[in-house]
Structure formats: C-alpha cells, structure tokens
Amino acid sequence: KMPVKLNQLISIEISTGKILQDRFSLLFDFKNEHGNSVIKAVTQHVCIDKQSHKTAVLPEEWVSMLAGRNSAE
C-alpha cells in the first residue's frame, strides 16, 4: 500500500473475520496519521484440544464474544 517510516504514528483497527466451528480470523488494518490504510493483515486462530492436539470446537462464549464484535464476514 504505502511506505511506513520509522517513528511514524500508526493506528490499528482490529475486526473479526470468519468464525467457523473450530477457528476464526482477525483482520488488522494499519492506518497512518491521515487515516490512510498502509498495511492490511489477517491472522488465523485454530482451537486445539490440549490432550489430543487435534482441532476442537470453539467454546460458545468465544463464539458469542467474537460474533458481538464488528464482524467483517
């Protein structure tokens, strides 16, 4: 998008992306001091059972909390 300089003021908007049974994504929009988007990023988060190390269903309270955020689905 645009170059970012050392010591440049950046704000970060974070929103919820897709929410599936065992995973969700977070969307990041980095903006400069003028409000212009300079970097966009997505992170994927997968729920893993700590005993079996296999994917597990997201806890319902997580799904409710994530769905209540500003979703970008």
Distance CA 53, CA 1 (A): 38
Burial class of 19 by CB neighbour count within 10 A (0 to 12, 13 to 18, 19+): middle
The pLDDT value given to residue 3: 85
| The pLDDT of residue 70 | 57
Q: Please provide residue 65's backbone torsions phi and psi, each rounded to the nearest 5 degrees.
A: -65, -45
Question: Per-residue pLDDT for the chain (73 aa), expressed as one digit of tens each?
Answer: 678 889 999 999 999 999 999 999 999 999 999 999 999 999 999 999 999 999 999 999 999 999 887 555 4
pLDDT recorded at residue 2: 78
pTM higher than 0.85 for the full model?
Answer: no
